[in-house]
Structure 1
Amino acid sequence: MSAFSLEPAQLAWCAQLRTLAAEHLRPLAEKGEPGRVNRPLIAELGRQGLLGRLFTSGALELCLMRESLAYACTEAETALALQGLGAHPVHAYGTADQRDRWLPRVSDGSAVAAFALSEPGAGSDAAALSLAADPDGPSAWRLTGVKCWISNAPEADFYTVFARTTPGAGARGVTAFLVPADRPGLTGTGLDMLSPHPVGTLDFDAVPVTADDVLGETDRGFRVAMGTLNLFRPSVGAFAVGMARAALDATLAHTARRDAFGGKLRDLQTVSHQVAEMALRTEAARLMVYAAATAYDEGAPDVPKRSAMAKLLATETAQYVVDTAVQLHGARALRRGHLLEHLYREVRAPRVYEGASEIQRGIIAEELYADQEARTAVEAAP
């Protein structure tokens, strides 16, 4: 498999996913209540075997799933992605007991997962989080503080929670905990957000956790967070590529049939050139996403840089493509219920979550300078 093309079997599978999303998942999505977990949709993702593949697939396959679902049903894509984001730390870093308890339920869609990293004062600067894990006897803590902007909160069944076990230690003093939603002292409030899925705050009032709830190692939770984000960032780009391709195809169809100035819109050079630019940027983003995912699957050393590049280019590209599509469609594209009206609302958030575009640029620059310093050191060695 090349990072620049897909095998026939992969192409056929992507086509099947697009059909599944359009014919079976979109009707369930349309019945959902905005701002609430759509449990029937999640259950159907489980019945179709897609949630189980979150734990058996590599990064490239995850990207193909997210891109294909996003093309036809963004709600299904997001439901799948949030299950993966919240449960991947359990799969990758959890104990046998933790995995046995939760992963089968995530896979069949009967348990909803969430990834609780951001806080009111620690969004982009994740290492600055302050949710306190205060010692409460041997190998036990009490969590006190607030998490904010948490997808699927407050309706998830369990949360991967990152808390500070060593004050003043920055990224080195963070521990990841698996916290069931029914723990005493854990409450939540939904936020009125521009998203079809719930986003909320979580309030921790001396929530008890023990060593049995730790994911990975104590004080090494930042590794859990970054390992999860390095996997999912390219697939955020795939989500964006799926939306961009849907907007591009809608624009091709519209400009080919729309009468204007004695011909079709496509006959106007300014329009055809805009469509060409949309296609060019979408294809470039797709290739970078596939290349980053392939690098992850192959264990390449530059995964953080590639993941950041893929997310940055793809999400910024999707914003441009959807905006241009709206412009070429005119007022009809902004009518409630139009595909582009839906995409116009959906496309904005990926430029912010899992590391805003500015954070991705910072990661890229940091990795570039680290590479340059390493090369300089090698060249200067006797």
Structure 2
Amino acid sequence: MTVFSLDPQQTAWCATLRSLATDTLRPLAERGTPGRVNRPLLAALGAHGLLARLFPAAALDLCLLRESLAQGCTEAESALALQGLGADPVARAGTPAQRARWLPGVVSGTTVAAFALTEPSAGSDAAALALRATPDGTGWRLHGAKRWISNAPEADFYTVFARTTEDAGSRGVTAFLVPADRPGLTGTPLAMLADHPVGALSFDGVPVGPDDVLGAVDGGFRLAMRTLDLFRPSVGAFAVGMAQAALDATLEHTTRRAAFGGPLRDLQTVAHRVAEMATRTEAARLLVYAAAAAYDAGAPDVPRRSAMAKLYATEAAQYVVDSAVQLHGAAALQRGHLLEHLYREVRAPRIYEGATEVQRGIIAKSLYGRGGSVTSGG
């Protein structure tokens, strides 16, 4: 297989995923409560074996999963992705005991995971984390806050990144696996533009010990970056899936809708806009697949390729969805319309896991041969 095409098995699998998303997962999503973790939806993802494919995840496999699910049910796509993001550090760096305790539930969809990196004053500059782990005998006490954390405050455990060494920048951060029932850990939900489970967490002396460390002490930032390098291209895949759904809806609408004596598609301004939408969607798809293939091959330029894929795909999806709304007219603004839903969904990926501006910084530093440690997650 090349990075420019899928083999017949992959193509058939994507078609199966799209049908599953539309016929089985979307009804579960519609019965969920907006802004809350949808546990029946997660259980269905587990029952169909989709969560099991996350550990270990091949980047291209993850991208195909996210793109295909997003075309039929964005809620299912997000639920799957958040499970992977929250539990990937456990699968990647957890002890045998940690993996045995938590991963089976994640895979079955009965245990909800969350990735707790972003803070009120540390988003894109994640090396500036202020959540502190102060020594307390053989362990630590966590003091501080996290904000805009997906699946909070309903997750069953959190992968928490905290500062263990002062004045050490990115080299002084440790990852901890923190069960939700630890004393001193509280959370509140946040109402967001899109109805996702997102919340704030408060750590008031939360106890953690050596058995809760993921990987090495002071090695948490590198672990976070390894997780984000895997998931950044797949954020682009999520965006591509939404763009494709918007494009498909636009092709149908402009063929069916008559105006000025004929179908909308016969108007040159409409046809040219749709052509641009299709071109940007395909270009984004190819960048995503190329970045995923580079990750799976262990290429040295993965951070740059991942940044390019996320940057271009999320910006392209914003253009495509906005254009689709424009071509549909007022109907697309009505609550419950597919494009109204996509319009709210498509905005956040340009910010989380590294905003568009941060991705440009990563790309530029790579091109000029300089290192960098700016990112974002939540």
What's the TM-score once normalised by structure 1's chain length?
0.96
Maintained 8 Å contact 1:175/1:221: yes
Distance 2:59 2:341 in 1: 27
Partner of 1:38: 38
Provide the aligned length of Structure 1 versus Structure 2: 371
What is the deviation of 1:57? 3.1
Secondary structure of the residue that 2:160 maps to in structure 1? strand
Matching residue's letter, 1:54 = L
Q: Residue 291 of structure 1 aligns to which amino acid in structure 2?
A: A
Q: Whose RCO is larger (CA < 8 A, sep 6+)?
A: 2
Matches within 5 A, 1:1-382: 1-138=1-138, 140-370=139-369
**Contact 1:75-1:196 at 8 Å conserved across structures:** no
Alpha-carbon distance in 2 for matches of 1:194, 1:26: 20
Q: Which blocks of at least 5 consecutive residues in structure 1 are unaligned?
A: 373-382
Q: Secondary structure at the match of 2:205?
A: strand
Runs (4+) of structure 1 exceeding 4 A deviation are none
Q: 1:377 maps to what in 2? A: none
Q: In structure 2, what residue type is equivalent to 1:263? A: G
Distance 2:103 2:64 in 1: 22
Percent of aligned positions that are identical: 76
| Displacement after TM superposition at 1:257 (Å) | 1.0
**CA deviation vs aligned residue, 1:45-64 (integer Å, no higher than 9, x gap):** 00000011111330000000
Q: Write the letter of the residue equivalent to 1:123.
A: G
* Distance across 1 between alignment mates of 2:360 and 2:353: 13
Alpha-carbon displacement from aligned partner over 1:147-204 (angstroms, at most 9, x marks no partner):
0000000000000000000011100000000000000110001111122221111000
Q: 1:301 is matched by which residue type in structure 2?
A: P
The residue type paired with residue 40 of structure 2 is P
Structure 1, residues 257-287: CA drift from partner, whole Å, max 9, x if none? Answer: 1101011100000100000000000000000
Separation of aligned partners in 1, 2:299 and 2:145: 36
Question: TM-score, length-normalised on structure 2?
Answer: 0.97
Q: Are 2:56 and 2:91, in contact at CA under 8 Å, matched by a contact in 1?
A: no
- Residue 134 of structure 1 aligns with an amino acid whose one-letter code is T
SS where residue 122 of structure 1 aligns?
Answer: coil
Which runs of 5 or more residues in structure 2 are unaligned? 372-378
Amino acid at match of 1:320: Y
Matched residue SS, 1:324: helix
CA distance in 1, matches of 2:32, 2:167: 43
AA partner of residue 214 (structure 2):
L
- What is the distance in 1 between the residues matched to 2:348 and 2:192? 10
Indicate the SS of the match to 1:202: strand
Q: CA deviation digits over 1:21-52, x for unaligned, max 9?
A: 00000000000111100000001000000011
- In structure 1, the partner of 2:374 is none
Q: Which moved more, 1:189-198 or 1:87-96?
A: 189-198
Please tell me the root mean square deviation across aligned C-alpha atoms, in Å.
0.9
Looking at structure 2, the residues matched to 121 and 293 of structure 1 have their Cα atoms a distance apart, in angstroms, of 31
Amino acid at match of 2:329: G
Contact 2:239 2:317 in 1 (8 A): yes
Q: Deviations over 1:273-315 (max 9, x none)?
A: 0000000000000000000000000000000000000000000
